Amino acid sequence: MRLTPLLAGALALGTAHAAAAQGDPAAGEKAFRKCLACHQIGEGATSKTGPVLTGVVGRPAATVEGFAYSKAMAEAAEGGLVWDHAALEDFLSNPRKAMPGTKMAFPGIRKPEELADIIAYLDTFSDGAVQEAGEASDAPVEG
């Protein structure tokens, strides 16, 4: 089968997007440094200005015990928001646009590769199971 230039370009773009969507946890660890002003992750992490992010992938929103969430986040949680890859990508790319009223003042991560890397890094702290958008999660609910 011979590919037309347009089809070949579309396939290459789709492949590049899929590779970017997987992300690199090591690069994500570096990129996560900008998150450390407000969040902790890993063993012994505690909530700061933002909630602990250990186990966030696959976890229902607003479930870190003792953290005071915004009304917007609490309402999203009541609506069934679960932090899968798609929800994290949407929120982290522009938190205030994705969830008007959120307390998160961070402007967002604009580079798709960096966003994928950070989500891949978060995955490493989420029961070892990489979760794609729409997949069911067996991760326990924290809080």
CB atoms within 10 A of CB 76: 21
pLDDT, mean of residues 121-136: 64
Q: Is residue 1 part of a domain?
A: no
pLDDT digits (tens, 9 = 90+) for 20-39: 458 999 999 999 999 999 99
- CATH number of the domain at 65, please: 1.10.760.10
Q: Please name the residues in contact with 98: beta carbons below 8 A apart, sequence gap of 6 or more.
A: 90, 91
Containing structural domain, residue 52: 23-123
Radius of gyration of the chain (CA): 16
Q: Please name the residues in contact with 15: beta carbons below 8 A apart, sequence gap of 6 or more.
A: none
CB 122 within 8 A of CB 41: yes
Q: Is residue 129 part of a domain?
A: no
pLDDT digits (tens, 9 = 90+) for 80-111: 999 999 999 999 999 999 999 999 999 999 99
pTM: 0.75
Residue 77, burial from CB neighbour count under 10 angstroms (0-12, 13-18, 19+): middle
